[in-house]
Structure 1
Amino acid sequence: MIAIATHGANQMYGRREYGQRQCAGKGIDHAEVAGRRKETMMSRSRWDVNTVEHGKIPWSAKLGYSTFSLSYVMQTMIGTWQLFYFTTFLQIPVVATTALLAAGKIVASVIGPAWGYISDRMYSTALGRRFGRRRSVMIIAVPLNAACYVLMWVPGLPIWAYFTASLLYWVFLAGLSTIQYGLPSEMTDNPSQRAQLVGINQIAGAIGSTFLSLFNVYLFTIWGKDEWSPYFKMAMIYGVIGVGVLIIGFLTIRERPYDESTDVAQADAAPGRRSGLVKRLISIVWNFLSVIRVREFRNYLGLYLCEQCFRSIRGTINTYFVIFVLLLDPQTVSLATGVNTLFGIACVALFMWVTSKVGGPRAYRIGGFEVVLVFLSLFVLAWFSPQLSSHTKAIAFIVLGLFMNFGITGVVNATQYTYTFIPDVDEIITAKRREGQYASVNATIDDIFAAIETVAIGWVLDATGFIEGTQTQPASTVTAIAVMYCIAPIVLCLAGIMFTYRMRIDRDSHRVLLSEIDRLRAGGTMSDVTPEVRKAVESMTGMPYERCWGHNNIIDAKHQE
């Protein structure tokens, strides 16, 4: 078993050696580190067969990663039916229910950085050394998340119990989301394998959403929908499914074994300086903010936020656009959604190949320009809507939706693929692997901007005279919906395309980056860097080469640069 563990560590970076170390620019007792590594490998040898690989990873590990998206049937059940269930059957006032839901998401966005900080440092605990730093978080988060999920559907509890259960559900879900975001970089260094992981994740999410929608229709048919019990039983079914697939994921995902790159806790403070609770909290905030100094991460955020915002705007007011602008019936929305979901699965398979071949920025541009053309076509359709028959508009909307889904799939796939390179850039800066840190920042910023965007849409609709409970809206509101639905996404998509030209990391520069990390890990000195490598590293990090490899205060605010 020890031989397997050693093989897993060597396999992690291919030709990386773990002899001499130059780590984080700090004095390290290498004999002590080597001893801790040996002890760790011996204590968790049964899991080392699941460590990260430099080449291809088995399909069992890829499917294991997809279980995170499949487990979101629990979250989808909450998002679809919790508000209705609470207000209709549990008789909780709508104001209290919406406050309950909002509080959970706000807390999740705040707690995200703490999960990333903890997850990256779990190798400093006995649990982490036994099971791995990502799996150890799952051991904590999965059962507690499931318990809170069940409590939210049990009738007859006081409001404070539902409030607490909902709050904690989102808290523990944030921990699982942090792991999911970081796993593609955690599981492999191979760009093609990362592209497959990203694509499989998208496909699993689409399958999960489609399954829930269709299965709910069947269950409502046999159980009815006018009492609380069908909703409770459906929620329990999805709870069992969600926990079951996560257990499969726990057994099959791969993660980096313990070594100096994953011993992130060692870089938190200078030797001999202990950190109390207050200092830890300050460090969490510092690590959250300091990543913005990484140039390639800032460029990635531009891609990500533009993509997320234009997709969210489209999703939020899609029904309004169909009903109030195109004057079509709600069934058209359901039909278009179902057709687009199935078509989207095929598009993901295509873009998995395209993205791995041309890289994230180019794939983003391919999908982005196609999205812009479709939104322009939809604006033309809206402009001539009064002159067209309902049948013509319905067919045009569905067909344009198919083309739209092709482009959106490409943009999302390219964005998620590009993200998988960010922890590699961070490693040349800090000499540490901090997938959890970037995953938590990503999730938190997403929640913040989603909240801002929702409020902005509501403000625009209210300012233009939106009338609740009617089948028609004033002309000013119709125009505002059309502009928000068509023009705002075009602007955002073009902004995202602009950021792709600022990205410096691609397959070639990524190879240069990993090669330089290999050289430094093998005991090479920073003074021996070639001018070409120096230029590449500085273009991706936004820092002078001399301040990379731990010679900075990105992790520890008090570290002398």
Structure 2
Amino acid sequence: MPSASIERSKGTGEGPSSFPYRVPGQGGPIRFRDAVGFGAGDFYGGGNQVINASYVALFWTRFCGLNIQTAQGILGSAAFVSALAALCFGAFGDGLFRHRLGRRFGRRHLILAVSCPLILFGILLWVPGLPAWAYLAVFMIWIVTTQLFQTAYGALPNEMTEDYQDRTLLTTTRLFISTLSCTLIPLVASGVLALLGEGRALSYQVFGMGFTLLFCLAVFHTWRTTWELTPSQAGYGQDGQTAAGGNPEGHGRPALTWWRHLARMGREYLSTLRIATFRRHLAIYLLVQMSMDAFGGTFMFFVLFDWDRSATFGSLMLSSVFISLPLMPLFGKAVNTIGPKRLYAINFAGCLTGVAWLTASWLLAGHLKDPAWTIFTVLGCLFFFAFKSLCGFIPWSVFPLIADVDQIITGKNRSATFGGLQSCLRQICSGVVTTSIGLILAASGFDASRPSQPRGAQLTLAALLLGWFALNMSICWVISRRLDIDRRTDGILAAETSRLRAGGSKADVDPETRAVVEDLTGLPYSAVESYEKG
């Protein structure tokens, strides 16, 4: 199957050599600088999650007069708004080629360009003294902007190349930079808090506002250095018509009500759930992200009140994620060699071991001498964060392959539609988890303004941080045993799609290919898109 990059280099009459359809290197494989340009976007994608999870609620409860229930309620309610936005953005992003603006600036790159200035609203999160409704409004803009960005960004690997190894390079570089961001933020935060003092709002403002500016620059770099499918390669003509016909701007068609638009969008999203590989991937992804949300929302409080250590120490422990940076190339190689299913088994076993280690640190706090306890805890954090990073790596290595599985059934590239539904459900789950954390902690007697917490609140923190993580990792391990997408099976799918597009008959499919298609899609082979003439 020819790669998208090679097709672009041949020219399509749509200006494939001009931004955003140009191809650096004239159709060769993805180069390292191309991967870095793409990966820069996840400096924002990964970094803003650390800011949201670990520092925003802490800043609001310490310096802005909000209690834990209100702070977590704002974070949770914004996630529900983001979930609705994800559905709208996913379908909207895939359909931008129907409009002149999308064809001129690219359906993915137009969204990236709009995201850049909106990111700067995040600066207002670090202004003390605002009413609660103002923090809610600003955070909603901030979180919806993140969702808008992810709609376009998540679809780029599927459009930049069709090669499995090139996609793995993009994912590896992306997650390396994301992990670098997740390392730098707490490390810088720790230094700033130690230098300026943990009791000053200015300390949090310095790194919060500073990283917001860096996020904007990172997204701009990705916008300028990546490319996407041309309209014709995505199934649209130069006038924006799809293969099924129809006017791109909606003129000359029967009037469509909003309800009909919503019904069509709903059918598109529901149809993605027919794909068995997507359902399995989605279940793992959501459980992993729910674990991350609970961990991020409680870790700093756990450090302060269960470990009885400072926010500076907690930030240093969060920066332990740096251990995964040199491991990223190994993660990428493992995805290529042993496949996601086996790598997931290693990952979840390591996560459960890491949870047991952190639990032991908690139980030994106050019983071991400080130097011994600190060494034991730092080693435990290094071990745990290495596998926690792998939790985020594997799903994003699998996601670009989902559209390949769907494409053999529908004949369309629907990356953003899959991304929109995934992001919507992810935000709903995030909202539920984040809001629940605030309610549960408040019910346990937790009060962040006090120097210590009652025993019930300490136990609740431990259960939310460690118990919830362990439970979800165990469930994910079971689900991953049936996730059979890998380099071999994706290659079989690509070859079969290429054969059918060339006019091959569905009746001539070999038994192995039929079995792979039916296993990955969860549908009978008869559901495969037919390209036969006549």
When normalised by structure 2's length, the TM-score is 0.82
Tell me the equivalent position of 1:171. Answer: 144
Opposite residue 59 of structure 1, the aligned amino acid is F
Instruction: Return closer, same or farther for 1:530/1:98 CA change in 2, 3 Å cut-off.
Output: closer
Instruction: Return closer, same or farther for 1:408/1:169 CA change in 2, 3 Å cut-off.
Output: closer
Q: CA deviation at 1:296?
A: 0.6
Tell me the equivalent position of 1:256. Answer: 229
Tell me the equivalent position of 2:180. Answer: 207
Q: Deviations over 1:489-526 (max 9, x none)?
A: 22211211111111121211111100011112222233
My pick for the range that moved more, 324-333 or 56-65, is 324-333
Secondary structure of the structure 2 residue equivalent to 1:71:
helix
Tell me the equivalent position of 1:354. Answer: 334
Q: Deviations over 1:425-463 (max 9, x none)?
A: 111121111111111222221111122223343444455
Instruction: Return closer, same or farther for 1:329/1:217 CA change in 2, 3 Å cut-off.
Output: closer
2:103 equivalent to 1:133? no
Opposite residue 83 of structure 2, the aligned amino acid is S
2:528 equivalent to 1:539? no
Instruction: Return closer, same or farther for 1:79/1:470 CA change in 2, 3 Å cut-off.
Output: closer
Instruction: Return closer, same or farther for 1:213/1:471 CA change in 2, 3 Å cut-off.
Output: closer
Q: Deviations over 1:84-119 (max 9, x none)?
A: 888999899999877665554332221111111111
Tell me the equivalent position of 1:112. Answer: 86
Q: Distance in 1 between matches of 2:25 and 2:271?
A: 27
Q: Distance in 2 between matches of 1:152 and 1:452?
A: 22
Tell me the equivalent position of 2:314. Answer: 333
Instruction: Return closer, same or farther for 1:52/1:130 CA change in 2, 3 Å cut-off.
Output: farther
Tell me the equivalent position of 2:352. Answer: 372
Opposite residue 527 of structure 1, the aligned amino acid is A
Please provide the CA RMSD for this pair.
Answer: 4.1
My pick for the range that moved more, 44-53 or 293-302, is 44-53
Tell me the equivalent position of 1:415. Answer: 395
Q: CA deviation at 1:162?
A: 6.9
Secondary structure of the structure 1 residue equivalent to 2:325:
helix
Q: CA deviation at 1:216?
A: 5.9
Instruction: Return closer, same or farther for 1:288/1:359 CA change in 2, 3 Å cut-off.
Output: same
My pick for the range that moved more, 411-420 or 263-272, is 263-272
Tell me the equivalent position of 2:421. Answer: 441
The structure 2 residue matched to 1:345, chosen from 308, 322, 325, is 325
What is the correspondence of 1:39-438 to structure 2 with a 5 Å cutoff?
Answer: 41-42=14-15, 45-50=18-23, 56-71=29-44, 102-143=76-117, 145-146=118-119, 148-149=121-122, 166-213=139-186, 237-259=210-232, 261-263=234-236, 266=242, 275-338=256-319, 340-385=320-365, 387-438=367-418
2:498 equivalent to 1:518? yes
Q: CA deviation at 1:226?
A: 9.4
Instruction: Return closer, same or farther for 1:458/1:213 CA change in 2, 3 Å cut-off.
Output: closer
Opposite residue 378 of structure 2, the aligned amino acid is I
Opposite residue 12 of structure 1, the aligned amino acid is A
Secondary structure of the structure 2 residue equivalent to 1:433:
coil
Instruction: Return closer, same or farther for 1:480/1:412 CA change in 2, 3 Å cut-off.
Output: same
Q: Distance in 2 between matches of 1:218 and 1:357?
A: 40
Q: CA deviation at 1:120?
A: 1.2
Kept after mapping to 1: 8 A contact 2:42/2:178: yes
My pick for the range that moved more, 394-403 or 384-393, is 384-393
Identity %: 23
Instruction: Return closer, same or farther for 1:116/1:482 CA change in 2, 3 Å cut-off.
Output: same
Instruction: Return closer, same or farther for 1:473/1:160 CA change in 2, 3 Å cut-off.
Output: closer
Kept after mapping to 2: 8 A contact 1:53/1:189: no
Kept after mapping to 2: 8 A contact 1:365/1:411: no
Q: CA deviation at 1:283?
A: 2.1
Secondary structure of the structure 1 residue equivalent to 2:273:
helix
Kept after mapping to 1: 8 A contact 2:53/2:297: no
Q: Deviations over 1:25-61 (max 9, x none)?
A: xxxxxxxxxxxx955x248745433289987301222
Q: Deviations over 1:156-209 (max 9, x none)?
A: 999987765554443333111112222222222222222222222222123334
Opposite residue 290 of structure 1, the aligned amino acid is S
Q: CA deviation at 1:75?
A: 7.1
Kept after mapping to 2: 8 A contact 1:466/1:474: yes
My pick for the range that moved more, 298-307 or 158-167, is 158-167
Kept after mapping to 1: 8 A contact 2:59/2:201: yes
Tell me the equivalent position of 1:451. Answer: 431
Tell me the equivalent position of 2:250. Answer: none
Which structure 1 residue ranges, 5 or more long, are not aligned?
A: 1-8, 19-36, 552-561
Instruction: Return closer, same or farther for 1:471/1:418 CA change in 2, 3 Å cut-off.
Output: same
Q: CA deviation at 1:317?
A: 2.7
When normalised by structure 1's length, the TM-score is 0.79
My pick for the range that moved more, 109-118 or 123-132, is 123-132
Q: Distance in 1 between matches of 2:26 and 2:512?
A: 28
Opposite residue 284 of structure 1, the aligned amino acid is M
Q: Deviations over 1:114-140 (max 9, x none)?
A: 111111122222222223221122233
Opposite residue 44 of structure 2, the aligned amino acid is S
Instruction: Return closer, same or farther for 1:111/1:289 CA change in 2, 3 Å cut-off.
Output: same
Q: CA deviation at 1:382?
A: 3.9
Kept after mapping to 2: 8 A contact 1:348/1:409: no
Kept after mapping to 2: 8 A contact 1:112/1:175: yes
Opposite residue 113 of structure 1, the aligned amino acid is L
Q: CA deviation at 1:236?
A: 6.3
Q: Deviations over 1:273-296 (max 9, x none)?
A: 774543222222332233122111
Which structure 2 residue ranges, 5 or more long, are not aligned?
A: 248-252
Q: CA deviation at 1:398?
A: 1.1
Secondary structure of the structure 2 residue equivalent to 1:346:
coil
Kept after mapping to 1: 8 A contact 2:76/2:433: no
